[in-house]
Amino acid sequence: MPDHPFPQPSAAPLTQLIRHQVVPALVGLYAPAVPLPEASELARELAHGGHGEALLRRLIANGVGFETLMLRVITPAAQELGQMWADDTCSFATVTLGTWRLRMLAQRVSELLPMLLAQPDPQRSILVSALPGEQHDFGVAIVAEFLARDGWLVTRAVPRDIEDLRGELRVRRPTLVGLSIARPDAAPLLAETIAQIRRLNPSPRILVGGPAIAADPQLARRAGADAAATCARSALDIAQGLLPARTATSPRKDHRVGSTTPGSGVPGIGPRGDSAPRLSRG
């Protein structure tokens, strides 16, 4: 994201939070497909106090599926709201309220386009979380929904600190952990979090993503992760590849659930359109 003036030390803590954490996470959301025109329409509507549900329902009525709504409408609308703040064309109150409404719209998408899958597979379990203490989880929520629709048993965590996250892992004992990092300057925290997770017995495999990974995929290797994903679609196939052999060979669910055309998905993403690395720990 381009540099922009930071608030003076006297600025309200909430303003600093929005500028330093929420907005970088929104502007940095990785949207690998060309946004639909309705993404800008939605961002403008939210910036002017609208709710966006009528637009959402119109798209669904026209046959637009879950994946397209999430990655070509809702995610780029969040980016546009973040950019409005970065360009000083809207207030922090506007971007905060708009982001909250986008979260509600993402939830409505899940309700209006319910999953077609049976019970999740307990052998494909994953805990997903932003880095402990980070305030962004918009992208985490979207990735969690994609994984759930792919048949994963998903737990979302909002840890206060690393020990809080370790406590969740000791209770849940997932096969995989997915961590999202918004800002490159949080790289030391990512490395320390991964090191602490490695001390668990058994230790889950670790997949990382988020705006900082999209900008620098090698950050995942330096931090000690097993793999990196740069978007929600790539996370599905990479997570599957991290499973133990006895689990990874179990039948896959249809990972195109919610697409408008079976087997089509969103252009430019997924196993053929994403080269996010699986990392070697050697």
Per-residue pLDDT tens digits of the chain, which is 282 residues long = 444 333 333 444 544 544 545 544 544 455 556 889 999 999 999 999 899 999 999 999 999 999 889 888 998 898 888 888 778 787 878 888 888 898 889 888 988 888 765 578 888 999 999 999 887 778 888 889 889 888 899 999 999 999 999 999 999 999 999 999 988 899 999 999 999 999 999 899 999 998 888 889 899 999 999 999 888 878 888 999 999 876 655 444 433 333 333 333 322 223 333 334 445 333
**pLDDT recorded at residue 42:** 95
Contact 153, 120 (CB under 8 A): yes
Q: What is the DSSP string of 182-240?
A: --GGGHHHHHHHHHHHHTSSSPPEEEEESHHHHH-THHHHHHT-SEE-SSHHHHHHHHH
**pLDDT recorded at residue 261:** 31
Q: If residue 94 lies in a helix (H) or strand (E), which one and from where to where?
A: helix 92-112
User: Hey, where are the domains in the chain?
Assistant: 13-112, 121-248
**pLDDT recorded at residue 86:** 75
Say which DSSP state 258 is in: T
13-112 folds as: 1.10.1240
Residue type, 208: V
> What is the rounded distance in angstroms from the CA atom of residue 145 to the CA atom of residue 17?
26
pTM of the model: 0.74
Homologous superfamily of the 121-248 domain (CATH): Cobalamin-binding domain (3.40.50.280)
The C-alpha angle with vertex 94 and arms to 77 and 112, in degrees rounded to 5, equals: 45
Contact 47, 99 (CB under 8 A): no
**pLDDT recorded at residue 41:** 95
Nearest to 107 by CA among 171, 51, 170, 176: 51
**pLDDT recorded at residue 78:** 85
**pLDDT recorded at residue 192:** 97
Q: Crossing angle for the helix pair 75-86 and 92-112, nearest 10 degrees?
A: 180
Residue with tokens 């990392």: 279
Contact 154, 120 (CB under 8 A): yes
Assign 3-state DSSP to the chain and report helix, strand, coil percentages, each to 5: 50, 10, 40
> What is the rounded distance in angstroms from the CA atom of residue 36 to the CA atom of residue 159?
34
